[in-house]
Structure 1
Amino acid sequence: MTTSKIETEEQFNELLKEDTFLLFKHSLTCPVSAEAHEQYEKFIAGNDQLKTAYLAVQEARPLSNYVAETFDIRHQSPQAILFKNGKPVWDDSHWRITYDSLSKAIAE
């Protein structure tokens, strides 16, 4: 599995150099986020060729805000954002983060 926890803009900007990567933002205290995190974990377990990273909003709020502001994507938690060539090409949030929605986003 190629997922890593990130907390800084520097770590995020390194990931932007990848052809494709999936960012997962989640809350440590929200039940909806816990369910989305399970779906994310299940997805990446079967897609280990995909570079992924996650952040916990409570621990990395400045980074979460940076991503939202830099790419003009409204902050949500939980939230999944797929980046290709340094740009967001797909994002979704809350109950819409499922194994199937992630699979479909990667396939497109």
Structure 2
Amino acid sequence: MNWKEIATLEEWDEVLSNSSTRGQVILKHSTTCPVSANALHEFEDYLKDSPNPDMDYTLVKVIESRPVSNKIAEDLNVKHESPQIIYLKEKSKYWAASHWSVTKAHMKAVLD
């Protein structure tokens, strides 16, 4: 597994801080949504195929970690959606996609 799950505001602050030196990719995932299950599958497929080694990959479960999910939306000024993938550099959103746009092909095009 090349990603980690975060569940606390402190962990989010660390991811945000790390974006100053490394790209950060965050997948906001709903454990109750079939579209989100598909997005998680696409994310895992992307990560199996030698992802960009200069980035960190993070999962946030939006229902179980609602405060973290809300803080991400607030800090990055991004409307909350789920599933949603956000590419973060230098403490700001560089790219985001949601719903059926969260695909392996889309990730490869933007992140590689």
| Deviation digits for residues 45-100 of structure 1 (CA, Å, limit 9, x no counterpart) | 22162310001111101110001011110000000000112211000000000001
From 17, 36, 39, the equivalent of 2:39 is 36
TM-score, length-scaled by structure 2: 0.89
Structure 2: stretches of 5+ with no match in the other structure:
none
- Give the unaligned 5+ runs of structure 1: none
State the TM-score, normalized to the length of structure 1: 0.92
- Whether the aligned pair in 1 keeps the contact of 2:25 and 2:85 (CA below 8 Å) is yes
Alpha carbons 1:24, 1:80 under 8 Å: kept: yes
RMSD across aligned C-alpha pairs, in angstroms? 1.3
Q: Distance in 2 between matches of 1:4 and 1:81?
A: 15
Q: Percent of pairs identical after alignment?
A: 34
Q: Any idea what SS the aligned residue of 2:96 has?
A: strand
SS for the counterpart of 2:70 is helix
Structure 1: 4+ residue segments shifted above 2 A: none
Is the deviation greater in 13-22 or in 54-63? 13-22
Q: How does 1:1-108 map to 2 (within 5 A)?
A: 1-16=1-16, 17-18=18-19, 19-46=22-49, 47=51, 49=53, 50-107=55-112
Task: State the SS of the aligned residue for 2:13.
Answer: helix
Q: Which secondary structure state, in structure 2, belongs to the residue aligned with residue 15 of structure 1?
A: helix
Contact 2:52 2:111 in 1 (8 A): no
